[in-house]
Amino acid sequence: MIHPTAIVHPGARLGSDCRIGPYCLIGERVVLGDRCHLHGHVVVDGHTTLGADNEVYPFVSLGLKTQDLKWKGGVTRVEIGDRNVFREYVSVHSATSDGGVTRVGSDNHFLANTHLAHDVQVGNRVIMSNLATLAGHVVVGDHAIIAGLAAVHQFCRIGRHAMVGGCSKLVQDVPPFMMADGNPAETRYINKVGLERAGFAPATIAVLAKAYKTLFRVGLTLEAALARLEEDRAAHAELGELVDFIRASQRGIAR
């Protein structure tokens, strides 16, 4: 179902049962999976692939050239999974360097005016609220929540099941299972409500709450705190994930 006012390049590949609304523009190298629904006034261009069952609302832009001034040409891509929702005015830009990929997983919900810059890597079941912004090379883990008007600095990472509060300025990493807020953002506590909703066992939540206190509240150096958590990581996979994430940080954590 393609509205007569839509412009779809003959080279574009559309899956079965796609719905392309009025005034959409689909570029030559675009691939849409089955049952994608573009409501109207949507632009999808560049080397951009969407999986199945994505819903794209008016004035969304997917796959256009990076805003990074370091762009020198080449083939850059946007790869998007299945069952994502892109609300009004969302923008997802292509990567900067030849061969680079901006990647979005599946089952994500991007509210109006959110922005995903070049080379970001977003996992699955992520929620970004209105006007939240990811700068280039940001990595967002599965089930993370980024509240409205939050801004995330280049190369920052947001861990699995983490939450960033509204209007936050995030300049360092947010470890998995934690909640950060402020300007600049600091880690405030575990994402307790989010973990409960995700079905984490009370015992696991208690272990993570204790880990939070060890990392952020008892005055230990970061290395000493991590060493203390290492003692129990074999018994709790989440502790190992938390320690490994922090040890891999390049920008430091929002402590």
C-alpha–C-alpha distance, residues 92 and 86, integer Å: 10
C-alpha–C-alpha distance, residues 192 and 175, integer Å: 14
pTM of the model: 0.97
C-alpha–C-alpha distance, residues 230 and 49, integer Å: 41
CATH tag for 196-247 (out of 1.20.1180, 3.30.70, 3.30.479, 1.20.120): 1.20.1180
Q: Under DSSP, is residue 217 helix (H, G, I), strand (E, B) or coil? A: coil
Measured on CA atoms in the order 61, 129, 121, 222, is the torsion positive or negative? positive
Measured on CA atoms in the order 168, 173, 179, 180, is the torsion positive or negative? negative
φ and ψ at residue 106, rounded to 5 degrees: -125, 155
The pLDDT of residue 78 is: 98
The pLDDT of residue 247 is: 97
Q: Could you report the per-residue pLDDT of 61-87, keeping only the tens digit for each?
A: 999 999 999 999 999 999 999 999 999
DSSP codes of every residue in 107-136: S-EE-TT-EE-TT-EE-SS-EE-TT-EE-T
For residue 224, the Cα-to-chain-centroid distance in whole angstroms is 31
The pLDDT of residue 21 is: 98
Confidence of residue 208 (pLDDT cuts 50, 70, 90): very high
Query: What are the structural domain ranges in the chain?
Result: 7-137, 196-247
Q: Could you report the per-residue pLDDT of 214-254, keeping only the tens digit for each?
A: 999 999 999 999 999 999 998 999 999 999 999 999 999 99
Angle at 156 between CA 51 and CA 58, to 5 degrees: 40
The pLDDT of residue 211 is: 97
φ and ψ at residue 246, rounded to 5 degrees: -65, -40
Minimal CA–CA distance to 158: which of 111, 219, 206, 116? 116
Catalytic residues: 118-119, 136
Domain 7-137 CATH superfamily: Hexapeptide repeat proteins (2.160.10.10)
